[in-house]
Amino acid sequence: MLDVEVFGAGLAPGAPTKREIRRLCSLSAARMGIEQAHVAIEFVDAERIAQLNAEHRDKPVPTDVLSFPIDGVEDVGGSPRTRDAAVPTEGQLPRELGDIVICPAHTADVSEAIVHGMLHLLGLDHETDNGEMLALQDELLAQARR
């Protein structure tokens, strides 16, 4: 099971419910072979996301979503070895994927931002791939909306 914590939901009126947020995260994680993990999602205002963007990306402006991986991405998805490593054995804690920070005021589609943030936590990067991450994002969103 994917454990999803949501903070600051009051800053995101009209955002998906916690159940739907968990579903979006679970769809994304399952695609990469992750069944048990923890992720935190926080909704923040423009000032806070601009501060984080400045600290971590040297871009002192608001953005829609930022992802902060915790356990690293080297063991996520891909080969059967990494898929096995992604499922904890008895007594082992689920992996800590990381945190997703979303600014609803700068986000056209909160569901898209959630999936986008999850894919970054899972090691995908649209700035360095050949469109695979954004294609997968569109596919997951279409699946979630069925």
Q: Which CATH architecture has domain 2-144?
A: 3-Layer(aba) Sandwich (3.40)
Specify the higher pLDDT residue, 63 or 93: 63
pLDDT value, residue 23: 95
pLDDT at 64: 97
Q: What integer is the mean pLDDT of 39-65? A: 97
Cβ(6)–Cβ(21) below 8 Å = yes
Q: What is the pTM of this model?
A: 0.84
HSE-up of residue 77 (Cα within 13 Å, Cβ side): 15
pLDDT at residue 94, rounded to an integer = 56
Percent over 90 (pLDDT), the chain? 72
Q: For 83-130, how does the pLDDT look when each residue is reduced to its tens digit (9 = 90+)?
A: 344 444 444 445 899 999 999 999 999 999 999 999 999 999 898 888
For the segment 52-67, the average pLDDT, to the nearest whole number, is 96
Cα dihedral across residues 104, 106, 111, 113: positive or negative: negative
Is the Cβ–Cβ distance between 37 and 94 less than 8 Å?
yes
Q: What is the pLDDT of residue 72?
A: 56
Name the residue with higher pLDDT: 74 or 110.
110
Domain map of the chain by residue range? 2-144
- Which DSSP symbol is given to 72? -
Asked if residue 20 has pLDDT above 50, the reply is yes
**pLDDT range class, residue 46, cuts 50, 70, 90:** very high
Position 127 scores a pLDDT of: 85
Residue 76 has pLDDT above 50, yes or no: no
